Amino acid sequence: QAGELACLFVNRAHENQGIGRKILQFIENRARELGVKALFALSTQAFTYFQSKGGFSEAGPELLPPARREKYEQSGRKSKVLLKRIQPPPNTTGTTSSPGINP
């Protein structure tokens, strides 16, 4: 399951205060709770921000969900496709195990 980050905006008066990163962190945590495996974003201008601050990587449009890829191709925009794989939550059961070691 994939999710799209369609818009992220921080007013210029509040830039460079970590607000964008906090919003991205909230979105990533919520996506994880919902079982989303990857987040993608399309950008013509903010791709550097998403890569450097958000941990996104440039990807090809073939990784977009089929319906979204069709819209992307029809739009004519030259947006870059950015993808971030969502890591599963850490083990919260209180048990720990090491590979190859059975408790």
Whether 98 maps to a domain, the answer reads no
pLDDT at 92: 56
- 24 part of a folded domain: yes
pTM (2 d.p.) = 0.76
CA atoms within 13 Å, Cβ hemisphere of 82: 23
Residue 100 is assigned to a structural domain of this protein: no
Asked if residues 38 and 85 have their Cβ atoms less than 8 Å apart, the reply is yes
Q: Is residue 50 part of a domain?
A: yes
Q: What is the mean pLDDT of the chain?
A: 86
Q: What is the CATH number of the domain that holds 18?
A: 3.40.630.30
**Percent helix, strand, coil in the chain (nearest 5)?**
35, 15, 45
Mean predicted confidence (pLDDT) in 5-13: 92
Is position 43 within any domain?
yes
Mean pLDDT, residues 34-58: 92
Question: How many domains, the chain?
Answer: 1
Per the domain annotation, does 97 fall within a domain? no
Least reliable range by pLDDT among 4-13, 38-47, 88-97: 88-97
Full residue range of the structural domain in which residue 48 is found: 2-85
Residue 102 has pLDDT above 70, yes or no: no
